[in-house]
Amino acid sequence: MRFRQRVTRRTGGVVFLVLVTGAAAAQSPATSRCRPTLAPRGGGPQVADTAFNPLIVRPAYPIGKGPTVLLDEGHFNFHTLAGRYAPFAKLLRRDGFVVGALRGPLTAEALAPARILVIANALSERTGQGSWSLPNPSAFTGDEVRLLERWVSGGGNLLLIADHMPFPGAAELLAAAFGILVADGFATDSTCALDELVFRRSDRSLADHPITNGRGRSERVDSVRTFTGQAFRLRSPGSGLLTLPTGSVVLLPVTAWEFSDSTPRIPAEGMLQGAALSHGRGRVAMFGEAAMFSAQVTGSSRRPMGMNAPRAGDNPRFLLNVMHWLAGLLPSR
């Protein structure tokens, strides 16, 4: 059974209505147990761990001979090649991909060299300048959204990553063009305190899919660790890869990282943090968390966050499998 749920968020006397579509609208025991204490990690910035260098047993391509991957840097992106996604680019290059940046608007000419476009945590100009409160405008113009939908439909491949608020709101229009409904909030557990989520093949929160199976037994992924993020649903045919378990909650604050007992929240059981779908002749992989594909340290204690984190050993393999799927090395289903 589908639903359309309105959640009210107020700021400065203005009421914002958040529309969430899913499978169960009513308050659940999970949301009633929620006492929000979710907080950013550490007391300092997130910095790329440039020493991270996981083993690649069987690179997909000779170095510099693989498909071209362009990382969007034209939309106030929180993750860039020289910044927090340096470990992402380094891993892909070691697997043979050619990785570059797209530092301008999305145009047909700019997209022409790309086999795969990666958009990680794009923001509007307003939000990119530091205003992480509602309203949260789209990072992309209507023309860019229509162009990118046509590009994928014609055979392009998109890795779209939108982390916790404000990133889902900035990507909402683009995600919707591919039948993806995002929730502009923070995904956590029933306590509203957990800042890491683990998806396991053993409990089916990690799906059995060509992306999790890879090209053979050595590339099989059995668990994936994420670091807060958001949750979304599919309204188009596709495969959920990372499914939130019973008791999960999405917090919907007016300002990012500002929570109280009155912060609106919705039950998130069955919502997704990862999915894969075909769109025309192209493919789309969507993820609701970005650090899982980087390697970072945070705060004065240099706490690992991402592919370098304890018990995140399958994350690098998972990223490479996602890229192999987008490149067509793995079957669509």
CA dihedral 121, 125, 129, 131 (to 10 degrees): -80
Judged by DSSP in three states, 134 sits in coil
The answer as to whether 42 is a domain residue is no
Its domain, for residue 76, covers 48-326
Could you list the pLDDT tens digit for every one of the 333 residues in the chain?
233 444 555 444 444 444 444 333 444 555 668 899 998 876 678 899 989 999 999 999 999 999 999 999 999 999 999 999 999 999 999 999 999 999 999 999 999 999 999 999 999 999 999 899 999 999 999 999 999 999 999 999 999 999 999 999 999 999 999 999 999 999 999 999 999 999 999 999 999 999 999 999 999 999 999 999 999 999 999 999 999 999 999 999 999 999 999 999 999 999 999 999 999 999 999 999 999 999 999 887 788 999 999 999 999 999 999 999 999 999 999
Q: What pLDDT does 3 receive?
A: 34
The answer as to whether 7 is a domain residue is no
Q: What pLDDT does 24 receive?
A: 37
Q: How far is CA 166 from the centre of its chain?
A: 12
Q: Are 159 and 285 in contact (CB under 8 A)?
A: yes
The answer as to whether 87 is a domain residue is yes
Using a cut of 0.85, tell me whether the model's pTM lies above it.
yes
Q: What pLDDT does 32 receive?
A: 67
The answer as to whether 16 is a domain residue is no
The DSSP call for residue 115 is: S
The answer as to whether 279 is a domain residue is yes
Q: Are 7 and 163 in contact (CB under 8 A)?
A: no
The count of domains in the chain is 1
d(CA 225, CA 287): 12
d(CA 54, CA 59): 12
Residues in contact with 302: Cβ distance below 8 Å, sequence separation at least 6, in sequence order? none
Task: Report the CATH number at residue 130.
Answer: 3.40.50.880
The answer as to whether 125 is a domain residue is yes
The answer as to whether 238 is a domain residue is yes
- φ/ψ region of 274 (left if φ > 0, alpha if ψ in -120 to 50, else beta) reads beta
The answer as to whether 39 is a domain residue is no
Q: How far is CA 68 from the centre of its chain?
A: 21
Q: What's the token pair of residue 112?
A: 């022409």
Q: Which of 60, 74, 82 is nearest to 124 (CA)?
A: 74
Q: What pLDDT does 30 receive?
A: 52
